[in-house]
Amino acid sequence: MPDSHYLIGKARARMLMKYPFFGSLALFLQPREDPSTPTMRTEGFELIYHDDFVQGLVNTGGIARLMGALVHEVMHAVLQHIWRRGTRDKDLWDMACDYVVNQIVKEQGLQLPPGVFISDRFKGMTADAVYNILLQELPPKSQGEAGNASPSGQSCPDKHQQDKKPDGKLLDDHSRWGKSKSGQDESTDSSAEASTWKMRAAQAAQDARQRGHLPAGMIQIIENILYPKLDWKQALASFVQPTRSDYTFIPPDRRFDYVFLPEFGSEGLEEVVVAIDTSGSVWRFYKQFISEMVNIVYSYPEFKGYIAHCDTAVQLFQELDPDNIPMQFKGGGGTNFRPLFQEIEKRGISPSLMVLLTDGDATLPKDPPHYPVLWVLTGENQPIPHFGNVAYMYLE
């Protein structure tokens, strides 16, 4: 059989003809054999492989299976999986990323090795959303342990936790993700490499689209890469930033479809309502909700306003006081936010901003309020409110 370098070149040539979007991107990964790599890997600048792995792919599935593996590697770079784990559990993040890219490979009609992580229930989801689902499906004890990564980036070992994780295996090697070429963590190289891959993906998508060869579903994926959904802290900062200087104007972020920013002056946000969904469906998020509320209060000491808890009724409504933040879960019923908005109106409050932490599964007022609302949702697979701005609280 021809050597692996030749087979990779043959697979890339066929991809350029049949799958030009993926093929053009695969050319950016320079092949290099490394016997210490058990399968195949990329950190965004090389395609590193073990000869036996490449030969095995072709022996069992032909060039189509090798093409599938190349698409797998390309999409890890395109979707920024290599650089975006942060403090999340490494094992769960690795699984989530493989679930996502394997689904893309499958949808292109290419082959995958047997036993890899794949499930139709994750179709169309991001790695962040899949990670949240995998984390929620762990037993409560393991959820806490999965959220605590060691300084080395590895998750805390626990046999019970491992037993409860999904069956399957990674297609490739993720052991050096997030490291620079020299092997150091937290490198500035990573940010530059991620930005480079954004530009490459955008250009490849434009070229493929002009030729009518952009795969179904890739348009939305590229849009999400170029204009990602905001983390709630970024979104909140976009509201607060204009309040901290009379002389700074920040144009609206195009990721907000409809932003109603008040006319801020040096006095800043006059009143803010920070509300927590305390319905039964979010009890497992409550500790993180409280943590995020505390973070808001102490990150923005200039905030004046109110704290509220709501399920089907307003369970708590009090002035915002850093020394008196309610920690007890008040609620546990269904979810109806109409009483919350009615309470604000009844009190004659006209907040500069309302921040509402929820899973998104709620009854809402038909008409939007006259003030801006920032919805902080627990996952990207949740219903999107019909008014206000949406950001995400990624579980860690």
Task: Give the pLDDT confidence of 314-358 residue by residue, as tens digits.
Answer: 999 999 887 777 777 677 788 899 999 999 999 999 998 899 988
Do 221 and 239 sit in the same domain of this protein? no
Do 161 and 18 sit in the same domain of this protein? yes
Do 284 and 238 sit in the same domain of this protein? yes
Maximum alpha-carbon separation in the chain: 79
69 three-state secondary structure? helix
User: Residues of the chain with pLDDT > 70: what percent?
Assistant: 78
Do 242 and 374 sit in the same domain of this protein? yes
Do 220 and 237 sit in the same domain of this protein? no
Do 380 and 353 sit in the same domain of this protein? yes
**Alpha carbon distances (Å) from 208 to 74, 158, 202, 329:** 16, 46, 10, 52
pLDDT for 18 beyond 90: yes
pLDDT band at 158 (very low <50, low <70, confident <90, very high): very low
Among residues 309, 317, 318, 304, which one has the least CA distance to residue 352?
A: 304
pLDDT for 285 beyond 70: yes
Within 10 angstroms of residue 390's Cβ, the number of other Cβ atoms is 21
Residue 151: half-sphere exposure toward Cβ, Cα within 13 Å:
0
Do 155 and 250 sit in the same domain of this protein? no
Of 196, 211, 226, the one marking the end of a domain is: 226
DSSP 4-53: HHHHHHHHHHHHHHH-HHHHHHHTTSEEEE-TTSSSEE-SSSEEEE-HHH
Do 368 and 221 sit in the same domain of this protein? no
pLDDT for 71 beyond 60: yes
**Count of domains forming the chain:** 2
pLDDT given at position 260: 33
Reading the block at residue 139, the tokens are 């037993």
Among residues 279, 272, 270, 267, which one has the least CA distance to residue 236?
A: 272
Residue 117 · residue 95 · CB < 8 Å: yes
Do 30 and 78 sit in the same domain of this protein? yes
Of 197, 226, 255, the one marking the end of a domain is: 226
Residues facing 307 on adjacent strands: 274, 318
Do 303 and 346 sit in the same domain of this protein? yes
Domain holding 239: CATH number?
A: 3.40.50
Of 195, 226, 257, the one marking the end of a domain is: 226
Specify the range with the lowest mean pLDDT, choosing from 113-117, 146-150, 252-256, 301-305.
252-256
Host domain of residue 128: 4-226
Do 140 and 280 sit in the same domain of this protein? no
pLDDT for 244 beyond 70: no
User: Residues of the chain with pLDDT > 90: what percent?
Assistant: 39
Specify the range with the lowest mean pLDDT, choosing from 20-29, 244-253, 281-290.
244-253
pLDDT given at position 267: 45
Do 189 and 293 sit in the same domain of this protein? no
The model's pLDDT over 103-153, given as tens digits with 9 standing for 90+, comes to: 999 999 999 999 999 999 998 888 888 898 898 888 765 555 554 443 344
